[in-house]
Amino acid sequence: IYGWIPSQMLDDQVPYRDEWTIPVLLWDLQDTSLLLLDRFHQAVSFPEMVLAVQSRAGAATVDFSCNDDMVTLDAADASRATLAALLQT
């Protein structure tokens, strides 16, 4: 998908050319095990899309730290990670 540009974005006469739609693919798994993308991220940003995953694992700690405190994430709610990845796109 890298380099993909919608055909309407190539036409200079389209009135909504300044708008850009970024697809978000969210996998909502019913499994109780923790599943992360790249072993660290709940959502990953690409130039054309955002991939996110959430499961029923509940709170989990990851290898990141902030002020020497372990960072936890809610595996059942990927909205915060998805928004962060969307803003990075």
Question: pLDDT tens for residues 37-56?
Answer: 888 789 999 888 899 999 99
Type of residue found at 85: A
Radius of gyration of the chain (CA): 16
pLDDT for residue 25 is more than 80: yes
Q: What is the pTM of this model?
A: 0.70
What sign has the CA pseudo-torsion 10, 11, 14, 18? positive
C-alpha angle with apex 10: 6 to 15, nearest 5 degrees? 95
Query: What average pLDDT does the structure give for the chain?
Result: 80
Interatomic CA distance for residues 4 and 25, integer angstroms: 16
Percent of the chain's residues with pLDDT above 90: 24
pLDDT for residue 2 is more than 70: no
